[in-house]
Amino acid sequence: MRTHTRGAPPVFFISLLWPLLTPLLLVVVVEGAAAEADPGGGIPFMGGNYFGHPMLYFNRDEVEEMQNAATGTHRDLAARIREAAETMLESPAEYLPPWNPAQFSARWNELYGNNLALLSMFCLLYPHRVGALDLAKEYMERMAVQPSWLVKDSPWDEVPVAHSLVGFATAYDFLYEYLNKDQQERFIQVIGNVTREMYEKSMKRAWGFQYLHNHQPTNCVALLTGTLVYMAQGYLQEAYTWTTQVLTIMEKSLVLLHDVTDGSLYEGVAYGTYSTRSLFQYMFLVQRHFSINHFEHPWLLKHFAFMYRTVLPGFQRSVGIADSNYNWFYGPESQLVFLDRYVLRNGSGNWLAEQIIQHRVTEGPGKPSKGQRWCTLHTEFIWYDPSLSPKPPLDYGTSQLHYFEDWGVVTYGSALPVDINLTFLSFKSGKLGGRGIFDIIHMKKYKAWTKGWRNFNSGHEHPDQNTFTFAPNGFPFITEALYGPKYTWLNNAALFYSGHLNSCFQPWTGQLTESCDSKWSKYKTGLAADAQGRVEAAMERQGMVFIRGEGHSAYSPELKIRIFQRNLLLLHPQLLLVVDHIHLDPHGSTKAMSTFFHNMELPFQSTTIDGVHGAFVSHGRDKYKIFWMDDTGFSSEGVTNFFSYPTGYTFNGSNYVNVTMPLRYPKTRVAYILFGPGIDVQSFSMHGDKQRVNIYLVTNDNTYTVYLLTSEVTNKPIFALVLLNNQKIVFEKAALKDSSPEEVEEYANVLYDNLQHVKPVFQQVERHVLSKALNAASFRKIAARLLNSSDKKKTEEVIEKMFAKTQSKTQDGDMVNLGEKLSESLPDIFAQIEVTEEKKRQKTSGHIYEDSQEEGKASSQVSDRKGAFVNGRKYKEVHMVTTEWSRGMSDTVSLVRMFLLLNTAIFFLLLGVILTRFLKCRTLNRQRVLYTVLLVDCSVLVYLYSSCSHTQC
């Protein structure tokens, strides 16, 4: 009996203490798991613990590490930063903003903000460079005296203001320690004033509610950057309002972006880099400052393909679909290293960035613009991970076919060296705005947030369904016409002759989104709002590529076009066959079709061989040719010319060849053969019947017989059959995936879950600000900053009570948790803000909220300090964590945590000694002594655990 009773007290004691030990074990397990898989992509969450500047992207403690990296792992990046900054230092008059406000606002002025961020990073990395800091300070002084950062001729456009605000606020954060007190105060007021203006405009301008458009992330990241810097200076009430607004806008966009399943952006590659320049900054900042993680977003996981699969051979140009230049507006090196560090983790992003840097055009077409070439160098430096050795994707070196199902774009042969038979081909036929946006609108998804095209903007898209580009041997033979007027014929597309329709170029009619007198496409109302094309096939078989698109829905139904099918067959890397199939409805008036093919740089020249008309461009000694013929053997003479763009466009214009062919009822087929200098076409003929067209081609090396089934109903399950000498290549019918994704489940709750991360951060900042002010002569001033938006009559009274409490606590010597107690003595200013700002938002921007009554209702509910309900769902309180840079209270917390872990170890050691060594002890007094020591240690453990929980360690 004694043996059993001796073992009972330890067992009973363990069972009694198990509820206490379980949380401690869970903490250890959770922290271990977090170390293995960091959901924040390795970006430390600040948790509201700010101790001066810099704080936006890194802390003061990291500056020395960055300076060391500039001479080591990041030396190549640092060299580019240094080269850019030295260029500015050599010619300061060329780069400094003018003092005169009229000159400052006389033209598009984004370069001032863009270049300032680069200069401030240089000063941070090389603080001893003579003249650099003086230049940066004068730069900021010149910007600070401007009454407005708007452009005079575009007072409705906040985009240049956004560029200036991002650059100015970033420079303020980076260079804060180098500014004198007067500059610190004046410059933060400038940041506050401009940010306040951006906040007000966000409730009135389209960028506040038109999602996935490049203006939105550009302006919103400016609003967020200014807000974070303003918050760090203690202006919490306004900063809280602005933060909630910018997160509401951007988090909605990121929810909607789930519907874009292929990683693309409908505005094209060039404007896509405009969006991602700011979008990636936003993702980084909200993770760092609010622990909102977007690094597993399904769109982000596929975005590398949008960068990699759209690069032409030679790494100097990209697909020019939609408004574009020859390649990228911003970056894309910064975006690529971001993707590699936080998403890919395989070196492919670093590799592609390296290739683009090595092959960058320095003069001529494709050269980066003066105002944009340096603006992403600082984020590229910050995000670059040297541990990821540059490594190309596994399929690099071979031509690959890729289909962007949302964008409606097919590419083949991207990201290759320029070499013989390394060819690039692209084709576009998709829904206006991309499938995701188009289906959101037409299927009425996300009803609480969207109402048709008013919440989206496709102005940068072109009337370009069923269009293609072709670069045999990497040479851009058939190109897009880039950023120009929104005319159908500028997009390698077809126009149709119908005299009775109102159109830009009567009697010729283009696609529905064509705009006659505006820089932007038509898309909001009428038939244009429903315009779309469709990729029906995209496949590669034995080195040949077949693509088919259907585009009749992009044209007016009054043209009576039942089918407008464009087929592309890449028979050889230097030989492309294009076949247009037009099926007319009866009683129509469409008489002819006029197609266009463009080259931005070289003129077309006419030619004829054996009665078959064609044209060619000369590239050195090489000639790249195109010939055409319909299914009756007729070949009309083409027209070659140059079209000059109107004033206001970047490019002068485009060279083109125009081919006009008559249409017959019910079906007409027209074939075009395009080939490079390595191919000599010796014979070309075609004929057809109701279901198919047969094309016969003889070249210097091969004989091709192509059977193309064009009818919508056939008795054979194939698209095309090619006989190459004695070889048969079959392109069988296979449906492409074209299903719209489901609406994000409980999307409103997803938004408000993320918004719940904001208040705890600001409450923590509030505690730090008050704690910092305890021994400062400016206590009243700092407290007034906290209360500057609450009831003015009570402000002085509350400040005096706080000051009295400060004095009494200082005399008592209880300083540890005084900041927190003072914070608790304040009114819940953030709850007040949520109520008053919601009323203001409804009043000042009713045109936004009138479409979504549920949105306003839900927004006003997020006000409880401990938790909130939205649509019946309880939120969990967002728990704060301290970071390795914490000071003050966080030092005390770290000490408590250390003692807690040490005492836990001692507790288990004593418990083990009892269970293994002293259970057989015959002396009861010794056991009593051990149990007493264990109880005392347990009491200390309980005290430390409660203290640790109280201070949120």
The residues that are catalytic are: 215, 271, 483
> How large is the angle between the packed helices 298-308 and 348-358, nearest 10 degrees?
30
Which residue from 42, 519, 54 is spatially nearest to 288, judged by alpha carbons?
42
Contact 345, 339 (CB under 8 A): no
CA–CA separation, 399 and 707 (whole Å): 25
CA–CA separation, 622 and 298 (whole Å): 44
What count of Cα atoms within 13 Å lies in the side-chain half-sphere of residue 596?
25
> How large is the angle between the packed helices 132-144 and 159-175, nearest 10 degrees?
140
3-class secondary-structure state, position 590: coil
Contact 132, 124 (CB under 8 A): no
Q: Burial level of 386, CB count in 10 A (0-12/13-18/19+)? A: middle
Which residue from 660, 727, 659, 666 is spatially nearest to 691, judged by alpha carbons?
666
Supply angle C-alpha 234, 237, 242, rounded to 5: 105
Listed in sequence order, the residues at least 6 apart from 307 whose beta carbon sits closer than 8 Å to its beta carbon are 269, 332, 335, 336, 339, 352
CA–CA separation, 383 and 380 (whole Å): 5
Burial 303-333 (b: 16+ CB within 10 A, else e): bbbbbbbbbbbbbbbbbbbbbbbbbbbbbbb
Tokens 């290759």 belong to residue:
416
CA–CA separation, 947 and 903 (whole Å): 14
Contact 845, 204 (CB under 8 A): yes
CA–CA separation, 39 and 33 (whole Å): 10
Phi, psi (degrees; rounded to nearest 5) at 547: -135, 135
572: alpha, beta or left, given left = phi > 0 and alpha = psi -120 to 50?
Answer: beta
Which residue from 305, 650, 292 is spatially nearest to 481, judged by alpha carbons?
650
Listed in sequence order, the residues at least 6 apart from 650 whose beta carbon sits closer than 8 Å to its beta carbon are 325, 482, 483
Contact 724, 392 (CB under 8 A): no
Listed in sequence order, the residues at least 6 apart from 590 whose beta carbon sits closer than 8 Å to its beta carbon are 496, 497, 498, 559, 560, 561, 584, 663
CA–CA separation, 80 and 75 (whole Å): 9
CA–CA separation, 474 and 77 (whole Å): 29
- Give CA separation, 614 vs 66, 79, 208, 311, in Å: 59, 50, 50, 29
What kind and span of H or E run contains 594? strand 592-599
Would you call the peptide bond into 332 cis, given omega within 30 degrees of 0 as the criterion? yes
Evaluated on CA atoms 292, 295, 299, 300, the torsion sign reads: positive
Question: Which residue type, as a one-letter code, is found at position 544?
Answer: M
Residue 400 CB neighbour total at 10 angstroms: 17
- For residue 208 the two structure tokens come to 């506040």
The β-bridge relationship of strands 718-724 and 703-709 is: antiparallel
- Give CA separation, 394 vs 391, 398, 410, in Å: 9, 10, 20
